[in-house]
Structure 1
């Protein structure tokens, strides 16, 4: 990585400051991204645990509620395993995104982040871009594995190949938003003890205040409001719709929320808005931290 960054500095034209769309910036970003994949190759624990943890929920909850009555599923077709598959898939991606700030904190504590910051970088935002690209790629790999396990267990993806781009879009939009928040948090907390505590507090409550494991109609009114406004629900419901409906449309209502009906298109737009808000919230913070 140091050789790549050094080569960037040596080829930079005197007196020029390349922008974020320049080839130099993206070459630098890819060099930093490659570092994360090298770490993953040496220590694949994060990849394995990121798959094993949600699969544990799939196996336990799938077995516990396999005889759930059809009314429990809120009128959705298929069994509970097919119902929960969407929640587990999104929970897998969410877990990777939520933990994305942790490696940055360890880089801070071990002094490696300071070494990167004093390097002749085109833009220090490449650090953030590299982490985001890595987490998105990692989440998609973990999601693909979980989808394969769900298929082996009998949860078939009804929408077929045509629905995969929508599923990928929902996963990526969710991951980008929570990755931005997690990276912002990584530059605020004092150390890894604090961020681990925060992640532990957020992980399961965010899961259970969504429609990952139970339909919205099964919840009490106050929890219906909370779950219907959760970004996790906005990602889960489009994927669930694709799992149970072979004939789908972007304008089809997928959630009867207390405040009205949410369409598949509306859920994706809500996720996009969530991303914009998340990036805006942490943008100034990251600029100050990376000066």
Structure 2
């Protein structure tokens, strides 16, 4: 006795959603490929982004090479102390510059062509820039980790390397979103470069990248405890100094007490969420 097999029906809304997702992915990949083609034609930007942190590692490591033993606590060398700071600051600097290509596209008129093109979503422009910057940050991070291992800082295990990648992703995602928002909000690249110059080094020195928290003045300890870079640097530093780290480990000190590894990660996720919530309305108005 034959039985009829009922084929599952696909609603028009499901087909439209599938088509939208497919087109969005295709547009994002195409725009991301364009950025990597530009990088291939001008590889000096990537080379500079790798050479500069290596110089930081070598020069600052040599500057404090003869620092008294036990100065940083736990017998840690300054090279091992410095490596996490260089990793995070390099990723932060690249993410802070994420808005420059978009700003130049604005000024040269290419962005206007994209905005009038029949894109399924103009947010593919933002997604492509984010993927591009995160990819560069991970390449730079891998280079610094290898270089710092060769310079004596050691090499974390597989789990530690994965956690470092996740932390770098978190800080880069939020700062990239902020930079892209500024690229659409500011009138030109001169203003954006001014914001980058004013923000870059102060946030470095107001973090624990170069010195521990207890070395700082009381007011600077409060500023460093509010700095998102500190919440990325300290967990990575804990990975370098503790092979048995867990999410519940007390990974960092702040002006108001110690925080666990997992709490620091939650702070970074909260920072990313806050930036996206603030930037999204601006992008919607600009894209409209």
- 2:89 corresponds to: 91
Return the offset for 1:164: 1.3
Q: How does 1:219-238 map to 2 (within 5 A)?
A: 219-238=216-235
Q: Does 1:193 align with 2:187?
A: no
- 1:142 corresponds to: 140
- What is the aligned-residue RMSD (CA, Å)? 1.6
Which whole-Å deviations, capped at 9, do the CAs of 1:244-288 have from their partners, x for residues lacking one? 111111111112212111111111110000000010110100111
Return the offset for 1:36: 0.6
Q: How does 1:57-136 map to 2 (within 5 A)?
A: 57-73=56-72, 75-136=73-134
Equivalent residues of 2:122, 2:287 under 8 A apart? yes
- 1:25 corresponds to: 24
Determine the C-alpha separation between the residues in 2 that align with 1:119 and 1:177: 28
Q: Which has the larger radius of gyration?
A: 2
SS in 2 for 1:256: strand
Return the offset for 1:237: 0.6
Determine the C-alpha separation between the residues in 2 that align with 1:55 and 1:202: 22
- 2:214 corresponds to: 217
Determine the C-alpha separation between the residues in 2 that align with 1:154 and 1:193: 40
Q: Does 1:273 align with 2:270?
A: yes
SS in 2 for 1:287: helix
Return the offset for 1:199: 0.4
SS in 1 for 2:251: strand
In the alignment, structure 1 segments of 5+ residues that lack a partner are 1-12
- 1:242 corresponds to: 239
Equivalent residues of 1:17, 1:122 under 8 A apart? no
- 1:7 corresponds to: none
Q: Does 1:173 align with 2:140?
A: no
Return the offset for 1:19: 7.6
Determine the C-alpha separation between the residues in 2 that align with 1:20 and 1:267: 39
SS in 2 for 1:186: helix
Return the offset for 1:45: 2.1
- 1:49 corresponds to: 48
Match 1:183 to one of 180, 187, 206: 180
- The 1:19–1:276 alpha-carbon spacing in structure 2 relative to 1, beyond 3 Å, is farther
SS in 2 for 1:214: coil
Equivalent residues of 1:19, 1:25 under 8 A apart? no
SS in 1 for 2:253: strand
Determine the C-alpha separation between the residues in 2 that align with 1:247 and 1:20: 46
Return the offset for 1:78: 2.5
- The 1:237–1:76 alpha-carbon spacing in structure 2 relative to 1, beyond 3 Å, is farther
Determine the C-alpha separation between the residues in 1 that align with 2:22 and 2:192: 34
Return the offset for 1:32: 0.8
SS in 2 for 1:72: coil
